[in-house]
Structure 1
C-alpha cells in the first residue's frame, strides 16, 4: 500500500470525529503484507521509500531484516509494520536518535513501557505544537493568496 493511500485511510479514520482505536490503526496496514516475505524493492515501493533509506534504517538498528540463502534482504510482516511506524514517526518530526532509543526500549521488553509511553507523550505534544504552528502558517498563506486576488481555502487539498 502506498504511503499516500495509508495516510488517506488514517485521515479518513480521524475525520469520523473519534480518535482511531488501536485496532483501526492496525487495519491501516495492508493485510497482504502478512501473506509472505517481501524483497527490499517491494517494501520500498509499498512504503514509498528508497532502498537506500531501508538499508540505512537497518544499518542504524531501527529494523532487523533476515537474509535469504543468496544474501538478499527478506522483510517479514513484523519488519514492515515497524517500518510503517518508523516512517510515521519520522514524518511527524521524531529524530532518528529518538527512534533508535525507542526501538532499543521495545527490544528490551515490557518493563520499558513507562519510558516508551513518556517518549510518545512528549513527542505527541511537540507534534501538536508544530501542527498549531503550521495552521497559523497556512492561515497566513491563505491571507496572502486572498490579498493577491486568489481563492484561499481547501481547494486542491
Structure 2
C-alpha cells in the first residue's frame, strides 16, 4: 500500500480517548500511561491538543499484554517482548523462545494447581461425608 493510502486509512480509523480505553480494558489511566512510559505500549498517537488517541490495534495489543500478565510473565519480559516486536521480523525466533519459556512456566504452574485442587477436592469430599454421617469435625 502506498504511503498516501496508509495515511488516509489511518485518518478514517476509529480513535479512542484514554477514558474510553480505560472503560474498555479495565486498565487505569495511570497504568496506561505507565505502559507507554516503560515501553510496553507502542507509541500512541496524539490529537492536535496532545491527548492520547488509541486505535483498535492498540486495544488488541493491550488485550495481548493482559494475557501475558495472566501468565505471570514479568514486566521486564513483557517489555523485552514489546521491544523485539518493534525491532522487526528478524526477532521472531527470540520472541518465540520467550513465549515458549512462558508457556512452559504456565504448564508447570497448572500442574501444581491441579495437584493442589486434587487435595482440596479430597478434603472437601471427606468433610462432606462426615457432615452427612454426623461424624467428627476436622
Q: TM-score range by the shorter chain?
A: 0.7 to 0.9
Take 2:13 and 2:96, find their aligned partners in 1: how far apart are those partners? 31
State the match for 1:119 in structure 2. Answer: 98
State the match for 1:83 in structure 2. Answer: 62
- The answer on 1:143 being equivalent to 2:122 is yes
Asked which structure has the greater CA Rg, the reply is 2
Alignment equivalent of 2:38, drawn from 43, 53, 60: 60
The number of residues matched between the two structures is 117
Unaligned runs of 5+ residues in structure 2 are 1-11, 130-138
TM-score after normalising by structure 2 = 0.77
TM-score after normalising by structure 1 = 0.68
Q: Deviations over 1:90-130 (max 9, x none)?
A: 11111010011111111011011111111111111111111
What displacement does 1:145 show? Answer: 2.4
Alignment equivalent of 1:50, drawn from 24, 28, 39: 28
Structure number having the greater helix percentage: 2
Q: Would the aligned equivalents of 2:13 and 2:55 in 1 still touch at CA under 8 Å?
A: no
Unaligned runs of 5+ residues in structure 1 are 1-33, 151-157
- The answer on 1:103 being equivalent to 2:82 is yes
RMSD: 1.8
Higher relative contact order (CA 8 A, sep 6+): 2
Q: Which runs of 4+ in 1 moved over 4 A?
A: none
